[in-house]
Amino acid sequence: MMAEKTFSIHVNDRACKRCGICIAFCPKKVFSSENGKPVVTNLEACIKCKLCELRCPDYAIVVGGEENE
Amino acid sequence: MMAEKTFSIHVNDRACKRCGICIAFCPKKVFSSENGKPVVTNLEACIKCKLCELRCPDYAIVVGGEENE
Amino acid sequence: MNSKAILMQGNEACVEGAIAAGMRFYAGYPITPSTEIAELSAEKLPKVGGKFIQMEDEIASMGAVIGASLAGLKAMTATSGPGFSLKQENIGFACLTEVPCVIVNVQRGGPSTGLPTLPAQGDVMQARWGTHGDHPIIVVSPSYVKEVYELTIRAFNLSEKYRVPCILLMDEVVAHMREKVELPDPSSIKIINRKKPDPTIKEYEPYKDCDGDGIPPMANFGEGIPFHVTGLIHDITGFPSTSATVTEALITRLMKKIYDNLDDILDYESIFTNDADTVIISFGSTARSVMRAVQIMRREGQKIGMLRLKTIWPFAHRAIQELSSQVKNLIVAEMNFGQLVEMVKASAEGRFYVAGINKFNGELIAPNEIISRTREVRSRA
Amino acid sequence: MNSKAILMQGNEACVEGAIAAGMRFYAGYPITPSTEIAELSAEKLPKVGGKFIQMEDEIASMGAVIGASLAGLKAMTATSGPGFSLKQENIGFACLTEVPCVIVNVQRGGPSTGLPTLPAQGDVMQARWGTHGDHPIIVVSPSYVKEVYELTIRAFNLSEKYRVPCILLMDEVVAHMREKVELPDPSSIKIINRKKPDPTIKEYEPYKDCDGDGIPPMANFGEGIPFHVTGLIHDITGFPSTSATVTEALITRLMKKIYDNLDDILDYESIFTNDADTVIISFGSTARSVMRAVQIMRREGQKIGMLRLKTIWPFAHRAIQELSSQVKNLIVAEMNFGQLVEMVKASAEGRFYVAGINKFNGELIAPNEIISRTREVRSRA
Amino acid sequence: MGERTEIRLSGSGGQGLILAGIILAEAAILDGKNAVQSQSYGPEARGGASRAEVIISDSPIDYPKVMQPDILLTLTEEAFVKYKDNIKSNGIIIIDSSIRKSEPPVKIVSLPIIETANKSVGKVIVANIVSLGALIAVTKIVSKKSIEEAVMDRVPKGTEELNRKALYAGFELGEFQQKQYKNK
Amino acid sequence: MGERTEIRLSGSGGQGLILAGIILAEAAILDGKNAVQSQSYGPEARGGASRAEVIISDSPIDYPKVMQPDILLTLTEEAFVKYKDNIKSNGIIIIDSSIRKSEPPVKIVSLPIIETANKSVGKVIVANIVSLGALIAVTKIVSKKSIEEAVMDRVPKGTEELNRKALYAGFELGEFQQKQYKNK
Amino acid sequence: MRKELEKYFRTEKLPHIWCPGCGHGILTGAVVRAIDNLKLDQGKICIVSGIGCSSRAPGYLNFNTLHTTHGRALAFATGIKLAKPELKVIVLTGDGDCAAIGGNHFIHACRRNIDITTVVFNNNIYGMTSGQYSPMTPQGAFATTAPYGNIDRSFDLCKLAQSAGATYVARGTVYHIPQLIKLIEKALLHKGFSLIDAISICPTYFGRKNKMSSPVRMMEFIKDACIPAKNAEKLTKEELAGKIVIGEFYEEFAPEYTEEYAKVIEKAREGK
Amino acid sequence: MRKELEKYFRTEKLPHIWCPGCGHGILTGAVVRAIDNLKLDQGKICIVSGIGCSSRAPGYLNFNTLHTTHGRALAFATGIKLAKPELKVIVLTGDGDCAAIGGNHFIHACRRNIDITTVVFNNNIYGMTSGQYSPMTPQGAFATTAPYGNIDRSFDLCKLAQSAGATYVARGTVYHIPQLIKLIEKALLHKGFSLIDAISICPTYFGRKNKMSSPVRMMEFIKDACIPAKNAEKLTKEELAGKIVIGEFYEEFAPEYTEEYAKVIEKAREGK
Ligand SMILES: Cc1ncc(C[n+]2csc(CCOP(=O)(O)OP(=O)(O)O)c2C)c(N)n1
Ligand SMILES: Cc1ncc(C[n+]2csc(CCOP(=O)(O)OP(=O)(O)O)c2C)c(N)n1
Ligand code: SF4
Ligand code: SF4
Ligand code: SF4
Ligand code: SF4
Ligand code: SF4
Ligand code: SF4
Ligand SMILES: [Mg+2]
Ligand SMILES: [Mg+2]
């Protein structure tokens, strides 16, 4: 799920409850849904607004790639 | 306690608790205090505003002389 | 409603029974595991022209129920432990002012928030003693869904007849279980309504025992006979009094309403008690476990009987005192740490050995637990 | 405070005792006949750096008291019947979460608003069973103004020692009476403070029975060891659990804290019971009438004894069971319709004839009433 | 008067009889005795009849209420009528002289208490203290020294002299009466 | 299977097993039997494990909980692991074929219930009804007629056909398996 | 008492228990006069109170009357009104009864806009229990439980009611009786929840603790502190400190609760 | 989870019990981020809740935490704060917990201006008990106890708080998280009673009953309904119908309760 070396968006799959919020409300449509599961498919577009991280009800997203799952 | 034939102010002595409100706040100072007991001593001055009647906490005053004690 | 056999939940049977009994007002505040009673009342009451209101809390609910009853509607509220605790002050008001009403308490695990979704029978003593001061109260407790229906009607009837709050004390098992029931033909249901004063009466004395039965006729607010109601000790006119004589007369009448009518109010089922050496006493869902255990033990030839209390308060002292002298042991099975067992001990007066089977872990007592405890008790040295 | 003899009111002695015991927080809502306790606390607490707050109602008062105790202050509230009913839900919270606190109930005539200025002992059963679910609680009841002082201290001590709410159950007579007292030298008063956890502890498990005495050490909020408190059934870590094993273990421990320490908790006074054929059981102000009656009857050569309960709950079964076999009759004198008498019956197990003297008209039972009832009981066929 | 002396002070709310009861009990304690003071509250705790009770004894006091007073003081007719019949046969009733005494069941001492407070002392509100003085002079139930100390302890700052005067006026009333009684 | 048959339906919240339990109990009633249905709630009443219990009997049902099921249906591995060991020795376990069956203690019937719902019927949410069909085909605990009536009574308006299809698909699954079993 | 008012009183219960000069007697008189002025059907009026000196008022009034538990008058009243919407339901309550223990029922009754007229006998103290501070006791005032001066801020009950949803809100006083009667009349005619914050006086406790133990002194205090709502609008917060603003504050016509519930019944009977 | 936030959570308790897409998880994250931004002393923070889905939040947070009885969080919190004023006390509550059963404690805590920050997880429904209407459920919406549509009017909690005496009042939503975090920070720094009405979503019950059962649909609803406080000022009541006004509403600097009590202690010790 790493897309770049210096910058990444990490989705903790065990924590994610597939609510779809990150997918729907990313202003840049960075995520797509794989059977409800958010997958980063457009990392380049990300503007690092971190809204996805802030809005994830399950703290499953880290924008910036520091999470060590 | 009748001061005139056609108009009177009746104070029910048994009901009166001697609070002094009628005496103090009659705009025309119609009442005087006899050891706390209100006595009509200046009936002529009365302007029939009925404030004394309305403010008596014990419904002891009737302005207009209808009360039959 | 027809008399076809249908599957029905305990809480649903409560609402059906209440409406059949004439409930036309419900005020409540939701709480697990009683919530379905509120939800079904919200749906069904307006269909029969009744009123449902969700109040801001349980205290307000109890107040609204009393108000509605004074205004003439049969009224009910339902709750569980925490809400039942909150209602106590106003329940006491209804006891003293003799306002008919039904309070449902679907017991869950306590104390405090406890185990909201799991069963218990831990509010048995509270149902009798939860409000301050000496007061009369009737508490009934069903074991079957069908009986939820019947006892809800009975709760309304007793409440109207004796002008006393009546508590329907359920447990989560009975409330949430679905079971086959055949509801009776509505026309066959006996409904009791509060006694009204003679409408031509000159001086209505709302607390006067006109008929010598301890139960004053009750006017409704707004129906031509104005009167005063207070939670202070009052004389027969309904106005406050601090007289010792008045106080004693009032409290005595309130209590005698109940204690002089035990024949009518007490309701219990004795099974196999005639030749039993050991009788197991229980109520609510626990009685179903006891029933199974007793049947198993009887099949094995053991002389076990059971006493199932449907009226819990007033306590059926007499049912215990009338047990034959063949009985050696009484075992009280309750889903609590041991509550009603003290009452049984008080009634036993040393004539029987009294023991308890208690479970307070959020699970229904199982038949095999009853069987093994019974064995223990019967084989004690 | 010196040990000079002074005239002191019961409610005043309560506040003096509380402050001597270390009370530094009071939250309450005024109600007759307990109000002086609030008023004196408002005046005296800030003088010793303590806090007084008048809350919006009794529910809030009880909540604030628990909060303050969790934050480390010894806390008390005082009320009477209606307020005591309202506090019940939060009292249950304190029972389950094991938060020390003292609740004073100055009993007045009930039920409901009842007789606000007149005495009664009608909340005896409620003090034990007022909140829902199985729960531990300690209830003490003084008969003398001096004893109000002593038992208030004892209430704090028991509460801190066993981490259980302790109820000081007074009646209006004792609360409003003024009487000669000599207060002890402050340095001679034994004060017990809650057990604290080892401050160097790594993993604090707030409900772990570390010492095998059933009483977990208690940290205070904000003193370096964060922890979680909930009114749900919880495991030793303090977090919710619905496990049957956890539930059973928790409730059992809560109850055993009390029932394993009866030697320490029970407190009663036996007078002339050795050779008595009749023992009169009582508590609170009623015990003073009994004392007079017993003395009069003894002077007449009658073999009457008395048992005065200072700890009402847990109930002193043992005190009754240990009565000599010479005793034939137990008479329970209470200013209510008959409450504790059921417990006495349960303890008597048929060994004694049990009768009650009950008065519930807003007046203290008089010595001559006790004497004549005693005569009746002793001369029964 | 036996070891347990029961005293009832009765009148109407606002006459300060509860305070008088407290002072009397405190004086008894200063005398080294036991004392219990209690009062009855009406339903409203204001206005209406008022009643204070004091029990004084050398030994501990059990039953804390007055069963049958040894001493009854009443300042109003209403109270007198209500309480006069419940008194020990060797008891004594002290009444304000404004009260019409009907069929005296026991010894009655009628004294111009209110008048004394009003006229000699100058304030009707100290009638309670005048009463105390008179009561003690008549019954000797506590020492003069103790009652004076107790009065001084309890009355508001600045009113000490007024109250002392009232107390002494009471003593005098009572003593004068006692002398007359003996002389009879 | 004796006169009292205990059935446990287990899986995860949202799989509709409580509804399935209710329908099963209703079918039993339509068959003229007695039935009790109950369920366990988690602390939160949402998500997590879900369990419905049904007891069917010709005579009145006393103890209302399952002591040891005759029939266990599980749709998740978690539920299977949790419940598989508590079953009557002559009982039967019906599991979704996605579950790895470990040490079968009793007869196990593994059927592609979820797959059938998903693929053949077209909606995974009707897995509960497929389960019911299969369970009845395998155990004959209630009549097909009654279960069909009960299903039609309970399902939301407009979904009748979908659910009927699901029920029949379940029947087929179960019957096919039964035939195979007999043929073995 | 004036003849035509007698029928509204239980005259045999008079004199009432209130202290000499207690404002509650004045306010009770004002309520009765408003009812009389409107010629409302006496048999269809139900008066409900909680506990307190103020809450003793219904006992003197010859209607259907209910003296409930402390703080709960509005909860009981809600039950009565919903059960029998044809009744005119009036709640007479105290500042403690209504705003301390009863605060929640108060804001919720406001919110529902149920047709109940509430008159708060607001004497800024708990009278019945002998003078503890209430949520309406001014900051700095003394009370038996505020021996060092009250630090609690007080509610503006009118603002609170309005923000909670009440649709008629006004304040009057025991001094300004003719105006108060008019306000109560308007409240009684209003469809929906109406509040009259009626400033009362408790010479016995509030007065005595705050150097105004004579009724006259307390009346003067109120007279001096009051300013009409219109005038108040122009003043700053500082200028308003210590003032009592009187008059009408809010009036709105909004759906009433029991009427809305009647529609629910209709809907339910139609089968939704 | 972001590393630096881990210390604020009891990570071993995660995943939390909330449903997929439940707004309460988002709000809990916002509270933690506000605390982290301010670098408050973790050991001196005490978080208190009542009962409800929302009130489960403290259980996941690594502070002194207290899960009280339904509606009573502020009463307990008041005891804690007055007993130990050095603690930063935060109440996390639900719309039912705070405004239904807890309404009285709420208005009184506002009135006292005691230094407690209250964040209401306002999902307009009773989530925990499966979807009954709350005092914040919009009129006309459906709920399990409003099968014919809700006739109750709802509170404007911010208005209510302000009129009761709260000195910092703001509203944010689960959608507008960066703004919400700022508002919470400001509330935490404010001396006195501060309220954040934090609009949450309950897809499971509110959503399902009102044709918005997906979390995304509910978020969209909120997004569309919100307008900033500034813009709202210009709109009429009719134009505002159905809108959620967000932003800061009120800020006042007024004496704080525990500080005032400290003065009482001083006075008392001086012998008045
Ligand atoms: C549950 C409960 N708590 C407390 C009381 C005691 N109590 C009776 S009236 C009252 C306050 C009355 O104040 P308010 O409503 O302002 O009436 P007022 O007497 O001032 O007219 C209190 C605290 C009670 N009766 N019930
Ligand atoms: C005294 C009491 N009454 C009722 C309940 C049941 N109950 C628990 S939470 C709740 C409502 C919660 O609603 P809210 O505060 O909005 O929280 P949410 O679940 O929506 O987050 C209710 C009614 C209870 N636990 N205690
Ligand atoms: S917002 Fe969080 S829980 Fe929801 S889908 Fe995205 S990662 Fe999963
Ligand atoms: S940081 Fe902003 S732009 Fe990047 S993925 Fe998240 S929401 Fe989209
Ligand atoms: S106002 Fe009434 S009670 Fe007061 S003095 Fe005048 S007549 Fe008497
Ligand atoms: S009517 Fe007016 S002027 Fe006349 S006496 Fe009364 S108050 Fe005075
Ligand atoms: S105490 Fe105050 S409010 Fe009560 S009757 Fe007396 S003056 Fe009125
Ligand atoms: S029920 Fe609603 S509030 Fe509760 S966890 Fe689920 S979505 Fe959240
Ligand atoms: Mg007041
Ligand atoms: Mg909510």
Instruction: Encode pLDDT of C163-222 as tens digits.
Output: 999 999 999 999 999 999 999 998 999 999 999 999 888 899 999 999 999 999 999 999
Residue pair G30/G170 in contact by the 8 Å Cβ criterion: no
Tell me the average pLDDT of chain D. Answer: 97
Q: Which residues contact C9 (CB under 8 A, 6 or more apart)?
A: C36, C145, C175, C176, C177, C178
- Domain boundary (C188, C205, C229) is at C188
pLDDT, residue B2, reads 47
Task: Provide the domain limits for residue D362.
Answer: 268-378
Confidence at residue F104, expressed as pLDDT on a 0 to 100 scale: 66
Q: Report whether H131 contacts H144 (CB < 8 A).
A: yes
Q: Considering the domain G18-270 in this protein, what is its CATH number? A: 3.40.50.970
Give residue H272's pLDDT band: very low, low, confident or very high (50, 70, 90).
low
**How many CB pairs below 8 A link D and F?**
4
Contact (Cβ atoms closer than 8 angstroms) between residue G177 and residue B54: yes
Q: Do G151 and H113 touch (CB under 8 A)?
A: no
Q: Which of F22, F33, F43 sits opposite C178 (nearest CB)?
A: F22
Ligand 9 midpoint to CA E44 (Å): 14
Q: How far apart are CA B6 and CA B3, in angstroms?
A: 9
Tell me which residue of D12, E158, D52, A51 sits closest to H265, measured CA to CA.
D52
Which pLDDT does position F177 carry in this prediction? 84
In one-letter notation, the amino acid at residue D200 is T
- Host H or E run for residue H91: strand H88-94
Is D41 contained in some domain?
Answer: yes
Dihedral Cα D245, D248, D253, D255, nearest 10 deg: 180
Question: What 3-state DSSP class applies to D109?
Answer: strand
Tell how far the Cα of G94 is from the centroid of ligand 1, in angstroms.
8
Burial F128-150 (b: 16+ CB within 10 A, else e): bbbbbbbbbbbbebbeeebbbeb
**C130 and C17 belong to one structural domain:** yes
Q: Are residues C163 and C290 in the same domain?
A: no
Topology annotation, domain B8-64: Alpha-Beta Plaits (3.30.70)
Rounded-to-integer distance, Cα D308 and Cα D287, Å: 6
* Least confident span in C47-56, E87-96, G100-109: E87-96
Chains E and A touch (3+ CB pairs under 8 A): no
Which DSSP category does F90 fall into? Answer: T
- Going from N- to C-terminal start, the domains of chain E cover 4-182
- Superfamily of segment(s) F4-182: Pyruvate-ferredoxin oxidoreductase, PFOR, domain III (3.40.920.10)
Bridge partners (DSSP) of residue D9 are: D178
> In the predicted model, what is the mean pLDDT of residues C8-25?
98
pLDDT of F106 reads 83
**Average pLDDT for residues G248-272, to the nearest whole number?**
95
CA distance to D173, F35, F75, F86, F114, per residue, from F99 (Å): 73, 29, 8, 18, 11
Contact flag F47-H130 (C-beta cutoff 8 Å): no
Question: Of G39, G5, E11, which is closest to residue G14 (Cα–Cα)?
Answer: G5
C-alpha A36/C-alpha A18 separation (Å) is 5
pLDDT of residue F180: 80
Residues 6+ apart with CB under 8 A from H6: none
In chain B, % of residues over pLDDT 70: 86
**Beta pairing partners, G143:** G146
Q: Is residue C169 domain-shared with residue C76, that is, in the same domain?
A: yes
Q: In the 8-state DSSP scheme, what is residue G4?
A: G
Dihedral angle over CA of D190, D194, D195, D198, nearest 10: -120
Tell me the C-alpha to C-alpha distance, in Å, between residue F81 and each of E89, F10, F95, F97, G178: 90, 11, 11, 14, 80
Q: Amino acid letter at D32?
A: T
Model pLDDT, residue F123: 87
Indicate whether C283 belongs to any domain.
yes
Enumerate residues 201 to 230 of chain D having a beta carbon within 8 A of any beta carbon in chain H.
Answer: 221-222, 224, 226-230
Looking up tokens 């339906």, which residue turns up?
A: F9
| Assigned domain for C125 exists | yes
Ligand 7, atom 6, residue with closest C-alpha = G19
**Residue C199 near chain G (CB below 8 Å):** no
Written as six digits, the tokens of E79 are: 């109270």
Ordered per-residue pLDDT tens for chain F, 184 residues: 458 999 999 998 889 999 999 999 999 999 999 999 999 866 544 556 789 999 999 999 999 999 999 999 999 998 999 899 999 999 999 999 999 877 767 889 999 999 999 998 888 999 999 999 999 999 999 999 999 999 999 999 999 999 999 999 999 999 988 888 766 6
Does residue A3 surpass a pLDDT of 50? no
Chains E and F touch (3+ CB pairs under 8 A): no
Percent of chain D with pLDDT over 90: 97
Does residue A43 sit at the H interface (CB-CB below 8 Å)? no
- In angstroms, the CA G66 to CA C239 distance is 11
The helix/strand/coil state of D363 is coil
In this complex, does chain G touch chain E, defined as having at least 3 beta-carbon pairs under 8 Å apart? yes
User: Residue B69's pLDDT band (boundaries 50, 70, 90)?
Assistant: very low
Would you call C337 and D130 a contact, using CB atoms and an 8 Å cutoff?
no
Contacts of E29 in chain D (CB under 8 A): 5-7, 180
Quick check: C3 pLDDT over 70? no
Q: Please tell me the distance between residue H29's alpha carbon and the centre of ligand 10 in angstroms.
A: 17
Identify the pLDDT of residue E2: 52
Length of chain B: 69
Q: How far is the CA of G70 from the centre of ligand 2 (A)?
A: 24
Taking the centre of ligand 8 as the mean of its atom positions, its distance from the CA of residue H201, in whole angstroms, is 8
Name the residue with the closest Cα to ligand 1, atom 3.
D83
What ranges do the domains of chain G cover? Answer: 18-270
> Per-residue confidence at A2, pLDDT binned at 50, 70, 90?
very low
Residue to probe by mutation, ligand 1, list G124, G126, G208, most atoms within 8 Å of CB: G126
Residue by residue, DSSP assigns H37-64 as HHT--GGGEEEEE-SSSGGGGGGGBSSE
Ligand nearest to the CA of D59: 1
Q: Are D112 and C231 in contact (CB under 8 A)?
A: yes
Distances (CA, A) of G187 to E27, G38, G177: 58, 11, 15
Residue D8: what are its φ and ψ, rounded to 5°? -140, 145
Identify the residue with better confidence: H237 or C227. C227
Q: Which residue's C-alpha comes closest to atom 1 of ligand 7? A: G127
Q: Which of C242, C255, C336 sits opposite D115 (nearest CB)?
A: C242
Give the chain C residue whose CA is nearest to the CA of F154. C7
> Is the preceding peptide bond at E60 cis, omega within 30 degrees of 0?
no
Q: What is the pLDDT of residue B57?
A: 98
What pLDDT is stored for residue F3 in this prediction?
86
Which stretches of D45-89 are assigned E, i.e. beta strand? 51-54, 74-79
pLDDT (tens digit per residue) in G12-29: 999 999 999 999 999 999
Would the CB atoms of E25 and D7 count as touching at under 8 Å?
yes
- Could you tell me the pTM of the whole model? 0.97
When divided into structural domains, chain C yields a total of 2
Amino acid at H228: P
Q: Which atom of ligand 8 is nearest to the CA of H203?
A: 7
The ligand 5 site (C-beta within 6 Å) comprises B 11, 16-22, 38, 56-58, 60-61
pLDDT digits 0-9 by tens, H145-197:
999 999 999 999 999 999 999 999 999 999 999 999 999 999 999 999 999 99
Confidence tier at C365 by pLDDT (50, 70, 90): very high
Q: Which residue has the higher pLDDT, C30 or E124?
A: C30
Q: Collect all residues with Cβ–Cβ distance below 8 Å to D250 and sequence separation of at least 6.
A: D207, D233, D234, D235
Looking at the fold, whether D36 and D171 belong to one and the same domain comes out as yes
Distance CA B11, CA B6 (A): 16
Indicate if the pLDDT at residue C229 is higher than 50: yes
Express as a percent the part of chain D with pLDDT over 70.
99
| Distance between CA atoms of residues F61 and D244, nearest Å | 25
- The per-residue pLDDT of chain G, averaged, comes to 97
D309-335 residue pLDDT tens: 999 999 999 999 999 999 999 999 999
Instruction: Identify which ligand lies nearest to the alpha carbon of A23.
Output: 3
Give bridge partners of residue C79 from the DSSP assignment: C105
Tell whether the model's pLDDT for residue C108 goes beyond 90: yes
- What end-to-end distance do the CA atoms of chain E give, in Å? 22
pLDDT tens-place string over residues G185-211:
999 999 999 999 999 999 999 999 999
> Which of C173, C188, C203 represents a domain boundary (last residue)?
C188
pLDDT at G272 (0 to 100): 53
D64 in any annotated domain: yes
Q: Does any ligand 7 atom lie closer than 6 A to the CB of residue G134?
A: no
Nearest Cβ partner for G18 among B25, B56, B57: B57
pLDDT digits (tens, 9 = 90+) for C248-258: 999 999 999 99
Q: Are residues D63 and D172 in the same domain?
A: yes
Closest listed residue to residue H148, CA positions, set G45, G130, C47 = C47
Q: CA of D19, closest CA in chain G: separation in Å? A: 17
Distance between CA atoms of residues C305 and C274, nearest Å: 8
Provide the residue count of chain H: 272
Q: Is residue C281 part of a domain?
A: yes
CB-nearest partner of D57 from G67, G101, G152 = G101
